[in-house]
Structure formats: structure tokens, C-alpha cells
């Protein structure tokens, strides 16, 4: 695997992490808001993850992989 392929794999993993987190938060918001009566306050829906969020997770993964002790 070339360094470019490794970087792309790390980016894909980071995207999957933030995408899964978004999906879980959206599901929670949908269920919560669906079950509310008129008296309760609805919760806000999550924002879709930005490129910067994916990049931050990718940097964490890269740091972990790069600094792994054998």
C-alpha cells in the first residue's frame, strides 16, 4: 500500500466515524421529537459533519497509527 492509499483509507475511516455518529444523533433526535407531546420542547437536529471534522478525526487516527509502539 502506498502512502497515498494509506492516507485515503484513513480518510475513509474518519468519514465513516463521523457519518455513523451523525446518523446515530439524527436517529435519536427523530425518535425523541416524534415521541414528544405538545408540552415538551423539541431537540435540535444535528448538523451534517464538515470536512474539518473528518480531517480532525483522520489526524487523530494518523497520529495513533504513526506513534504506535511495536
Residue 1 clears pLDDT 80, i.e. is over it: yes
The reported pLDDT for the residue numbered 42 is 76
**CA–CA distance, 70 with 59 (Å, rounded to integer):** 20
Query: pLDDT for 5-21, tens place per residue?
Result: 999 999 999 999 999 99
Instruction: Indicate the pLDDT class of residue 52, thresholds 50, 70 and 90.
Output: very high
Q: Note the pTM of the prediction, 2 decimals.
A: 0.80
The reported pLDDT for the residue numbered 70 is 61
Domains of the chain, residue spans: 3-66
**CA–CA distance, 2 with 8 (Å, rounded to integer):** 10
Amino acid at each position: 500500500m502506498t502512502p497515498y492509499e494509506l492516507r485515503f483509507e484513513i480518510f475513509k475511516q474518519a468519514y465513516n466515524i463521523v457519518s455513523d455518529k451523525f446518523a446515530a444523533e439524527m436517529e435519536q433526535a427523530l425518535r425523541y421529537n416524534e415521541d414528544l407531546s405538545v408540552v415538551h420542547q423539541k431537540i435540535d437536529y444535528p448538523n451534517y459533519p464538515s470536512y474539518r471534522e473528518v480531517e480532525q478525526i483522520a489526524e487523530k487516527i494518523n497520529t495513533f497509527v504513526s506513534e504506535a509502539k511495536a
